[in-house]
Each structure stands twice: as C-alpha cells, then as structure tokens.
Structure 1
Amino acid sequence: MTLRVERARDSASEGLGRWGLLAGLAAAFVISFAFSDLLTRDSNGMPSLWPMNAILAASMLHLSGVQRRIMVLIALATNAVVHHLAGDPWLVIVIYASCDMAESLGAAALTRRLRGPRASIRSVRQALVLVACMLPITLMAAAVGAALTAPMVGADVATFFAGWASANGMGMIITLPAALIILDRTPDAAFRRPLPIRLALYGLVAAITAFSFLKTRTPMPFLIFPAAMLAAFQLGPRGAAWSAMIVIAITAPMTIGGEAVARIAPRWAEVDRIRMVQAFVTTIFFTCLAAALSLSKEARLKSLMARRSAAARAARARAQAAGRARTDFLATMSHEIRTPLNSVLGFANLLAETEDGLSPAGRRKLELIAQAGGSLATIVDDILDFSRLEAGRVELRPEAVDPAALLADAASIIALDAQTKGLSLGVEADLPDGLDYALDPARLRQVLLNLLNNAVKFTAGGSVRATVSLEAPYPGGPERLRFTVTDTGIGIAPEVQSRLFQRFSQADGSISRAFGGAGLGLAISKTLVTRMGGEIGVDSALGQGATFWFTVPAEPVCAADADAAPQEAVARVLLVDDHPMNRELGAAMLILAGCAVETAEDGDEAVRIAADGGFDVILMDIHMPRMDGLAAARAIKALDGPAALAPIIALSADVMPQQIERCRQAGMVDHVAKPIQRDVLIATLNRWIGAETAAA
C-alpha cells in the first residue's frame, strides 16, 4: 500500500511538473511572439527577431501528447491574434502560421531523429550538426513563405526572403540548442549548485549586461563575456544557455528603445542593430557553451573512471574472495584426504617391510593398496601444485646439481613399477665429468618423474629410455640441458598433441578411463619448465611410442663437496598427533629408523612433556583439540632452558604455501607432508638432529 501511495505521489508530482513546463513554454512563446512581431518589423513588415519556431520545436520534444496539442493550439491562436493586431491580412496570417508550424514541426521531427525523443546536447559538435541540419528547413520555409507573401504585401521577393531567412535562421541557431539544454532534465552532479548561487550568477550576468549597454558615452559589451563564462564554468551548459537568453532578453528591448547598440552604431537601421545583437549573443553562447561542454565531458569522464575503478576494485575483491575460497577448499580437501591416506600408505609399507611371512598373494594385495593410494596422493599433489603455479606461489631455488645423478635418481624411483610391467629401463648421460649446474632439483625431479611415470603408465611392453645431454647454444645464448624420455608405448596422434600440455587434458576420454589420472602432470611440467626458462615438447605417432623432451638453461657452478650418504636417524623424538593411527604409524617408522619415540595426543600434552627437555626433535601435527600445533610450537619456544631449543618440524596434511608459512612463523623449522614418505621423513630428521635453534 505504501509503495502504491509513493508511486501515485511521484506520478502526480511529475504531472504537475509537466503542466508547469507547458505554462512556462507557452508564456515564453507568447511574450517573444508579441515582442518580435509588434516591435522588430522592418520596412517590408518582416520581423527581424524570430525565436518562436525554435521554442515550439523544443516544446514538441519535451511535452506529452495532450500537452503538445495544447501547445500547437496556443501557437496557432497567438499567430492569429498578434498578426491581426499588427495589421496583416488574414490570407497572409494563414501563410505565416502554416510556414511557421511546418518549420517547427519539421525541426522537431529532425531533432528527434538526430538526438532521440528527449534530445540532449553533449558536445559543441552535436550543437553545430543540429543547427546545420535545421538551416535547410528554415530556408525552405522562408522560400515558400516569401514566394506566396511578398506579392501580396508589395515587397521584393528576394528582399522578403532574405529578411525571413535571417530572422528565422538566427532564432533557430541560438534558441533551439539553448532550449534543448535548458529543458534537459539529466542531472549533472559536477554543476549542481544551491539556488542562491545560481540566482547570484544569473543576476551578475544581467547586471553587467545592463551596465555595459547603458553607459552613456562608451558602451562596453565585452564585459559580458567574463560574467557569462563564469556562469558557464560554475553552472555548466545550462548556465551558458541561460546566460545567452538573459543577454538577448535585456539587449533586444534596449536596442528597440534606442539604447545599447544604438549608441555603438547610431547610423544603422534598427533591423541591422537587432541582427548585430543576435550575432553578438550567438558568439557569447557558443563560446561559453564550448567551455561548459568541455568541462561537462571531463566531469563525465572522471565519473566514469571513478565508477569503473570502483567496479574494478569490486571485481578484484570478488576475485580475491573467490581465490581465498578456492584456496581454503583445496587446503581443507587436501588435509581431509591426506590424513587417511597417511595411514593407508604408511601401514601398507610398514606391513610389507616388517612382515616376512606374507604370502605372495597377500604381498601383491599390499602392493595394489600402495599403488592405489600413491595414485590418489599424486592426483592431490598435482591439483595443489597446479593451483600454486597458477597463483604464482612456486619459487625456484637453484643449487649445484649433477643432472646425470638427478636423472638416475628419478629413474630409480620408478624402476620398480617398470620392472613389475616387464619394461626395460635405461638411463644415459652425455655430460662433462665433474661439472654441476645451477638447477632447482626438486622441481626438475618433479618434471622428470611426471614424464617417466607417464612413459611407464602408457607402455605395455618394450622399454623406457631417459637421456640428458648438452645442447648447442642459441646464437648469443647460454648452453642448455636437454632431457628426453622415450618409450615404446601407445603413441599419440599428431592432431591431439597440442592438447597434451593443457590442464585436465589427455589424448582422449578412453585413455583417461583406461589409465586414470587428472590430466595435470604435463600442464604442471610445462609451467615449471617455462619458469626455468626452458621449452617442452613431444615427438610421437600413433602406435609408435613417444619421445617427450624439455630443455633448461645450463649454467655451470662449482660443485660443493659431496655430503656423506644419509644415515638412519638415531635420536629421541617427541611425536605429537591427535589421531591414534597416525601416532602408531609415525612411531613405527621412527622406531624402525632407530629413534626413541615418545608421543602426545594434543598440543597441551606436548608442551608439558617438552618442558622436561631431552628431545632432539619434535614432530608436530597442526590440527588438534584443546591446543593446536601452532599454539603448542609457540608455547614450547617460550619455555625456559634447553627445552625451547629443540627443533620443531611440522608433520601435517596442510601443504598450501600460506599454511607452511604459518608454521614457520610459529617457530617450526621444517615441514613434512602427509602422507608421510619414510625416506623424506628420515632425511628431514637427519637435517635437524643436533641442531639447536630457538626460532624458525
């Protein structure tokens, strides 16, 4: 009900506004008609000032249907009455009225076609185009009217036509653009001023106009320009239009009364003085209008830029929120998947290593469990890796690396899988002896393992061969290492090779169903190789195997002394995890490596046990009840004495970069991801056993 009342009130208010507009336009039409027709006629009886046709044309554009018809009736009645008072014959009155109505309605129709139903002017070019299009209509009406009327009043047709065309043309040039600007209801916030300021500015224009033309000895009309320009700068195009109307409204009567231009050009005929006034006002109007429209355009551009900037900020905020949501989702899903996988893979490996009495069938089942769990872990790792790569959160950490040893190490990891399928696995290196190169071993190994795993996966019989060699440098470029992985598998059709390095893409759906995988490994490999400054590609044909290759810049470095082979960790370890299976699995792995293990089921218990001291390393889970791993790490680091010096290593399924960074900020020195790989865990322990650190 309230909404309907408000709508009815708004409709009533708008209706009153339109009737008020009709009243104002009708008054302007009648007053200007009477003044022009009764006071500005030349010797042939032709008025020298005629803005009414432009007023009527603007009325046709801004009034409703009923109001337009009323305005036409008012115009016809005014024509008849005023022309009759001026002494014109009724036939001449009919010709005048017909020509004026035709010109006004034609100008309105053409303006509507050029500028739309609610015509507005946004640039000087639009105003000039509008005026130029009006002139043919004005000239045509003047020609027809002069041809019909001049013989009746005994005037020369050419002279009569010139007077008619001059009066109507000057009136249309000034009044139509000004009326369209004044009647334009589009709000312009840049020029919104309080009513007292607007009245003061228009009063200033009127006062200076009157002063400039009333000076007895030396009229100074040039003073009007600064006042009109000030109004245009403060009030915009509407200020320029109203200033022009104020100037013509003051100077025209003064000129008729013998003031103003009569003092400047006393020998001129009155009609010429009025034309001079119109030319003067036209100059003021278009000069001020140009400045106002330029300011208006600049204000609109600033507003548009502000809106677009706000929209861009909002879009960026939405994108960042979506990115955070995706990151949170990936982090949560990774944690929830890795936690049970840790038990599945860990116990399967422990069972295979410690139970000698397993039957061949039982051992085969354990291998299948481990393979399935490993495949699932690989998919999770691929998704997380690709997410990090897309977000630009993967940094390369070059160090001195022997490419041949790295390739052999990667091949040894998949050797068991190749042997299980009966494949021959070969590794060759053609490199200078004793020379290392600046490479990121972790990322390079990741690429090699992706290619080697694919080669084994898609090869049913035959061989897999991996090579590394130095490639001739490009002109002026560095040497490059070229790695190749060649298999005798199913091969790849040329038409699908371009899709291989796209995310979630494989050669076809049947391959995905037959061999599994998320289709991210090659996309990750391409991104990593590109980050290293190299290239990656494939050479293959269907049924003829495939050769995947990639190159990376080869910058030789001095090799550091080789570290001794890692030994099994021997240390006293505090293992903190809220999950009983994870504690049992971790303890079993550590005991198998020769460590003395004590466990805690949450952070609160871990702090109490750690306070007693004597631990070489603390392995800390993150998500735990009562006190989580981050809070526990901070509490342990805040202990007094040697207990605070034990290195704390995160042992968690939280593997996102920001999660690992939070661990370091809490005082942890390293991170081991779940599912736990025994060799990674032992290598990490070896790195920190004996290290004394009070902070990360």
Structure 2
Amino acid sequence: MTARADRRDDQPGLRRASVHWAGVRWGLLAALVCAYVGSFLFSDLLTRDSNGMPSLWPMNAILAAGLLRMDPLGRRLLLGIALVTNLAVHALAGDPWFVIGVYTACDMTESLAAAALTRRLRGPRPSIRSVRHALVLVAAMLPITISVAAIGSSVAAPVAGAQLWPFFTAWAACNSMGMIIALPAALVILDPTNDEAFRRPPAAQVGLYALVAAATAFAFLKPSTPMPFLIFPAAMLAAFQLGPRGAAWSAVVVIAVTAPLTIVGDGVARIAPRWAEVDRIRMVQAFVTTIFFTCLAAALSLYKEQRLKGLMARRSAAARAARARAQAAGRARTDFLATMSHEIRTPLNSVLGFANLLAETEDGLTPAGRRKLELIAQAGGSLATIVDDILDFSRLEAGRVELRPEAVDPAALLADAASIIALDAQAKGLSLSVEADLPGGLDYALDPARLRQVLLNLLNNAVKFTAGGSVRASVRLEAPYPGGPERLRFTIADTGIGIAPEVQGRLFQRFSQADGSISRAFGGAGLGLAISKTLVTRMGGEIGVDSAPGRGATFWFTTPAEPVCAADGPPAEQEAAARVLLVDDHPMNRELGAAMLILAGCAVETAEDGDEAVRIAARGDFDVILMDIHMPRMDGLAAARAIKALPGPASRAPIIALSADVMPQQIERCRQAGMVDHVAKPIQRDVLIAALNRWLGAETEAA
C-alpha cells in the first residue's frame, strides 16, 4: 500500500519533469528548423554563382549539430524536415530533379557522416572546450566535405551543363567554409554547460549582441571607407562577457548582417567592387571565421580560468570542511580519551591506594593475603600503564608533548630507572645489572621525565619477556662517524625469548607486537615501543633492536650528548608535615587521601565539594589545599578561583589539583584557575608527598 502511494506521490513530479523536457525538446527542434530553413532559403536562392552553385552553405553543419543534440524522435523529425526542405527549395530554384536528388543525397550523407565522426571524436554529447578541439574537428570535417563534393560534382555537373572543375571547386568551397564556421559554432551554442561561468541577465546579453550588430553595420555602411576592424572590439567584449557562446553568437550576428549587405551591393562590395559576388561571399566567410576563432580562443581561455577558479574554490571549501571534520573528530577523540581516562582512573585510584595502604599498615596479613594484595596492585598498575600509554600516544600524535631539557646525569637516571623494576626482576629470579662508561662529573641536557619513560618501557619489556637469565642496562658515549658529534647510547639487553627478524620492523608500530599470541601470554597494548620511538625521534636520536629467536634481544637508542654545567641539587626530600585541606566528592577518595596524608604526618581536613571547600578555606589556616576537579554544586576550577579571591592569608595557600583529568589542556585549565601543581590519579604516595614538599618549601621561603 505504501509503495503504491509513493508511486502515486511521485507521478506529479515525473509528469512535470516530462513536460519540461518535452518543452525543451520541441523548442530546440523549432529553433533548429528555423535556422536550417532560413539559411537554406537565403543561400540557395540568393548566393548562387554562374554554375548554379551557392556560395554560402552552413545547413549541413546545422543539421549535423542538431543530430548530435536531439533525442531519437527529434533526430527523425529533423531529418524528415531537412529532406523536405532540400527537395522543395531546390525545386523552387529550378534545378532538374536528377540534380535535386544528387544534391539532397549528398547533403544528407555529409550531415550524417559529420555527426557520426564528431560523436566518435568528442563523445555522445560533444562539446568544444579548447581551440584545439575546434581545429581537430575542422580538420576531420574537410575530407568529408571534399569527398562528397567530388562524388556529387562528378555525377551532377554533366546533367547541370557545367564544367567539372569549376563546379567541384565551388561545391567544395561552399560546403567546407560552411562546415568550418557553422559546426563548431553550433556545438558551442547548443552546449548548455557554457552558461555556467558566464551567466548574465537577458537584457545584458541582448545589449551586447546589439552592440556587435551595430558595430558591424557601421563598419560596412560607412559612406566613405568601410572599417571592418571596428567589429573586433565589440565581438571580443561579447566573448569576454558571455563566454564561448558569446563568441559563437557574435559570429552568427556578423554574418547575418554582412551577408545580406553583400548581396545588395553594400559592405564588402565597397571594399572590393571589382570582385564577383561569389568571391565577396567567400571573403565574408573568411572574415567571420577569423572573428569567430579569435573570439573563441579568448573566451575558451577565460572559460578555463573560470573553471579552474571554481574548481579551486570547491576544493578549498572541501578542504575547509575536511579540516573542520578532522578538528571535530580530534576534539571528539580528545574528549573521549579525557572522559574514559577520568572514569577509569577514579576507581583505579581507590583500588591501588587501598591495596598499598593495606600492604603498608596491616601487619597481621597472612603470606597468602599479602600475595593477593600484590596481585591486585600489579593488575592495577598494568591497567594504569595501559591508560597512560594510550594518553601519551594521543598527545604525541597531536604534537602536544614538549621536551624540557635540564642538566641530567645519564648514569644516575639509568640506575634510578633500573631500581624501579628491580623488584619485578627479583621476583622472576633475574639478575639486573647497570653499567656506565661516561666521563666523570659531566651532566647532559636531557629531558629526565621522557628519557626515564623510554628506559622504563625498554626495561619493563626486557623483564616481561625474559623467563630466566639476566637483564643488562648500559650507557656510553659514542661518535656515529669519525669527527662527528658525540651521542649517548643506551642499551637494554636480555636473555629472553628473542624476536624473529621478519617481525622486528613491526615492533615500533602502534598496537603492534611480535605476534598475536604475545598480548595473551604477556599482556600490554603494544604502545610502549611506538611511544618510545616517537620520543627518541623528538629528542633527535634513533632507536632499534638486534635479536634472534631464542637468543634474547638487545634494544638500543641514542640521544645527542650536549654537556652542561650541573646545577646544585635540591635538598633531600622529607616527609611532609602540614595542615592540608583535601577536597573530593568521592568518599573513598577522601578516605584514601586522608590515610596517605596522615601516614605522612599531615593534619587533614576534608570537604566534599567546592562550595564547602571555599567556606572552610576562608579560615586561612591551611598550608596546602588538594582539590578535585569534577564535583557537584561547585567544581574544583570555580572553587580555586573563589579561594584565590578570598581576603587575607586564605588566598595564599597553594592549591594542587588532585584529579583523574590528565590531558594537557585539562592541566592547563587547572593552572589558569590558580592551581600551582597537578597530581594525577591513581595517586602514587611518593608523587603526592614530593608535590607537598615542593610547595611547602616554596611557602617557607616566601615567608
């Protein structure tokens, strides 16, 4: 029922489209018939020479163009009308019926052959897009017109009582000149796409063509000396304003004015009064051909420029739209990563925090219970590592990671990274050694955080994929080529499962591991090495691996070695002892944070949202405020601004963001709200205490 209703609903639109096409078809047919019959009457009755051969013959080109543009029904009607017109007008001119038959057969054959060849050269809907197209078309038509003239004149000349050679040359000249001008012009006029870049109001079009007609009439009717060169500026103006179609119609206007003037003895007759009328007509055709192709060349060049501008505009618009979509996709990805990171880190904070607190504070745990806590902490740590890897890789791809070089002792940094994974190596029974071959007393300009991240990635992989044996970490200076700058070369070698040569090239690609079973056997998202490669490349170094199955793997990377003067080291960190306001809407986070701070010797007060935090902070008796970001009623950013606006000492307490929001733009918003530091969830106790010590020391110095 619905399908039938849809078809009924569509029928009015189909009928309207059919009526519109019918109107276009019959209008085009009427225009072609008028042009064909009118030019036939003028040429056959008014331009014949002494042999009875017309001097102007554009009808075959008009018929060929119509056959190319009409539908099958229109072509049949046009051929029928052309046949009747041939027979009737030739009879009216007094030609013998045999000659009429020859003329008609030759004209119809020439038109059909010209249409077929044009379709083969320019496709089923031929168009003229360059002067080269027009010249190729003209060159292709000449053999047809000359061949038809040769056959027709050899048959008709004896019957018409004319000499063969003059009869043939007159026939070939009139048909060739007519085809050279009329076929390209007709194809340009009948091409609807030529209006796309040259749309002008009808009044402007009529005015331009009237200007061409007036210039033509004035140039040839001037009493003293005709000045045909005056036609060129007017025709060129029409071509520039109206495009290729303007050039074609200008040629039609010029020949429509000059041909009758020549017949009545004006125009060209004044320029060459001793010439025969047929020669004057041919001169008119040559003149119009020159105007047409000159103006057509200019119009087509302008048309091509307009099309290129339109294409560039469309491509620019498409590029802007694609850039907007990419930016929207990037924002959506960033928002998704930020949301998922926050949602994962919030419960993970409680899991890891309470597991560590239990391990540190509960002395009565059985060995089995302590082992279970260790497994919980390991699983949570693995999940936190995966989340950090995904966020790091996203930041690296977006170009949001900046290196912050400072004076670093590479040997100490390598030893520090090795100490972090030492417990994991010990748990697997692996020996872990660190070697350094560096000049004493020198530090180098390195980003310690990013360098440590690369080292931990490689060391963790070495421990993960080594079931027994050893892991060796080393750093040394090397010169990549004689006389070249020195570089630091870090090497992590293990005695693990090894890597096949054919898969080593995939190791540094994102989400890639040696084979699909690796992730099941050892875990991981396959991002650590991709992140390491990107970071090492940003540092200006290289990274690679040497390995074979069953023979372990040796990962290495280099960085530029730029010695710097070592700055005085910071004083040794000590456990924080301060009055702390802890703000978090999640009860477990408040309990966990308070427990960590109390263990560090801090006096802790809690608030469950920003509004309560502002009221409590107004007392002005806190050394540090730890602020969550996402809270009801008043979020952490608004609370930080409100606290900084408080009078007196309350506004001077440093506010540290304590949040699962870890994207760079999120951290920047915290700083803009007045927060001085950021500690990411899941909270690591040593990181939290280091942040407290850092800002408690700053407050002490300021005081």
How high is the TM-score relative to the length of structure 1?
0.98
Single out whichever of 515-524 and 676-685 deviates more from structure 2: 676-685
**Secondary structure, aligned partner of 1:43:** coil
Single out whichever of 369-378 and 58-67 deviates more from structure 2: 58-67
Counterpart contact for 2:508–2:533, Cα < 8 Å:
yes
| Aligned with 1:583 (options 586, 590, 595) | 590
Partner of 1:445: 452
**Secondary structure, aligned partner of 2:656:** strand
Cα drift, residue 130 of structure 1: 1.3
Change (3 A) 1:507 1:473: closer
| Aligned with 1:312 (options 302, 307, 319) | 319
Distance in 2 (CA, whole Å) between partners of 1:17 and 1:402 is 85
1:665 aligns with 2:663: no
| Aligned with 2:231 (options 213, 224, 238) | 224
Partner of 2:688: 681
Partner of 1:412: 419
Matches within 5 A, 1:287-686: 287-474=294-481, 477-686=484-693
Partner of 1:205: 212
Partner of 1:122: 129
Give 1:49's aligned amino acid: L
Distance in 2 (CA, whole Å) between partners of 1:417 and 1:63 is 84
Cα drift, residue 79 of structure 1: 1.0
Cα drift, residue 42 of structure 1: 1.4
Distance in 2 (CA, whole Å) between partners of 1:145 and 1:72 is 20
Give 1:441's aligned amino acid: P
Give 1:112's aligned amino acid: R
Partner of 1:193: 200
Counterpart contact for 2:188–2:194, Cα < 8 Å:
no
Cα drift, residue 296 of structure 1: 0.8
CA-to-aligned-CA distance 1:9-42 (integer Å, 9 cap, x gap): 2321221221121111111111111111111111
1:53 aligns with 2:47: no
CA-to-aligned-CA distance 1:415-450 (integer Å, 9 cap, x gap): 000011111000011001110000000000000000
Partner of 2:5: none
Partner of 2:3: none
Give 2:269's aligned amino acid: A
Change (3 A) 1:493 1:358: same
Structure 2, unaligned runs of 5 or more: 1-7
Counterpart contact for 1:647–1:688, Cα < 8 Å:
yes
Structure 1, unaligned runs of 5 or more: none
| Aligned with 2:27 (options 20, 24, 28) | 20
Counterpart contact for 2:430–2:469, Cα < 8 Å:
yes
Distance in 1 (CA, whole Å) between partners of 2:534 and 2:433 is 26
Counterpart contact for 2:194–2:243, Cα < 8 Å:
no
Distance in 2 (CA, whole Å) between partners of 1:118 and 1:486 is 71
Cα drift, residue 2 of structure 1: 6.1
Give 1:335's aligned amino acid: H
1:41 aligns with 2:48: yes
Distance in 2 (CA, whole Å) between partners of 1:559 and 1:510 is 46
Distance in 2 (CA, whole Å) between partners of 1:351 and 1:64 is 89
Single out whichever of 420-429 and 352-361 deviates more from structure 2: 352-361
Cα drift, residue 154 of structure 1: 2.7
Distance in 1 (CA, whole Å) between partners of 2:480 and 2:66 is 79
Counterpart contact for 1:618–1:646, Cα < 8 Å:
yes
CA-to-aligned-CA distance 1:521-566 (integer Å, 9 cap, x gap): 0000000000000000000010001000000001000000122221
Distance in 2 (CA, whole Å) between partners of 1:563 and 1:28 is 98
| Aligned with 1:280 (options 284, 287, 304) | 287
CA-to-aligned-CA distance 1:111-133 (integer Å, 9 cap, x gap): 12222222221111111111111
CA-to-aligned-CA distance 1:259-283 (integer Å, 9 cap, x gap): 1111001111111111110000000
Cα drift, residue 87 of structure 1: 1.7
Single out whichever of 21-30 and 368-377 deviates more from structure 2: 21-30
Distance in 1 (CA, whole Å) between partners of 2:330 and 2:645 is 35
Distance in 1 (CA, whole Å) between partners of 2:596 and 2:84 is 108
Partner of 2:118: 111
| Aligned with 1:137 (options 141, 144, 149) | 144
Give 2:171's aligned amino acid: W
Cα drift, residue 692 of structure 1: 4.8
| Aligned with 1:259 (options 251, 263, 266) | 266
Give 2:264's aligned amino acid: G
Distance in 1 (CA, whole Å) between partners of 2:511 and 2:22 is 62
Distance in 2 (CA, whole Å) between partners of 1:82 and 1:477 is 95
| Aligned with 1:87 (options 83, 94, 99) | 94
Give 1:638's aligned amino acid: A
Distance in 2 (CA, whole Å) between partners of 1:604 and 1:690 is 28
Give 1:107's aligned amino acid: A
| Aligned with 1:249 (options 252, 256, 267) | 256
Cα drift, residue 81 of structure 1: 1.3
Change (3 A) 1:153 1:50: same
CA-to-aligned-CA distance 1:551-585 (integer Å, 9 cap, x gap): 00010000001222211111111111111111111
Cα drift, residue 488 of structure 1: 0.5
Give 2:655's aligned amino acid: I
Cα drift, residue 593 of structure 1: 1.1
**Secondary structure, aligned partner of 1:597:** strand
Cα drift, residue 363 of structure 1: 1.1
Distance in 1 (CA, whole Å) between partners of 2:431 and 2:86 is 108
Cα drift, residue 143 of structure 1: 1.2
Distance in 1 (CA, whole Å) between partners of 2:482 and 2:154 is 86
Give 1:167's aligned amino acid: C
CA-to-aligned-CA distance 1:631-681 (integer Å, 9 cap, x gap): 111111111111111111110001111111111111111111000111111
Give 2:100's aligned amino acid: I
| Aligned with 1:64 (options 54, 58, 71) | 71
Change (3 A) 1:638 1:9: same
Change (3 A) 1:473 1:66: closer
Distance in 1 (CA, whole Å) between partners of 2:327 and 2:652 is 39
Partner of 2:246: 239
Counterpart contact for 1:647–1:691, Cα < 8 Å:
no
Distance in 1 (CA, whole Å) between partners of 2:550 and 2:381 is 28
Distance in 1 (CA, whole Å) between partners of 2:168 and 2:194 is 41
Counterpart contact for 1:335–1:654, Cα < 8 Å:
yes
Partner of 1:147: 154
Distance in 1 (CA, whole Å) between partners of 2:576 and 2:36 is 103
Distance in 1 (CA, whole Å) between partners of 2:483 and 2:211 is 75
How high is the TM-score relative to the length of structure 2?
0.97
Cα drift, residue 188 of structure 1: 2.9
**Secondary structure, aligned partner of 1:623:** coil
Cα drift, residue 338 of structure 1: 0.5
Counterpart contact for 1:478–1:555, Cα < 8 Å:
no
**Secondary structure, aligned partner of 1:547:** strand
Distance in 1 (CA, whole Å) between partners of 2:144 and 2:196 is 36
Cα drift, residue 473 of structure 1: 4.3
RMSD of aligned residue pairs (Cα, Å): 1.2
Distance in 2 (CA, whole Å) between partners of 1:483 and 1:350 is 36
Distance in 1 (CA, whole Å) between partners of 2:646 and 2:139 is 89
Give 2:72's aligned amino acid: G
Give 1:655's aligned amino acid: V
**Secondary structure, aligned partner of 1:191:** coil
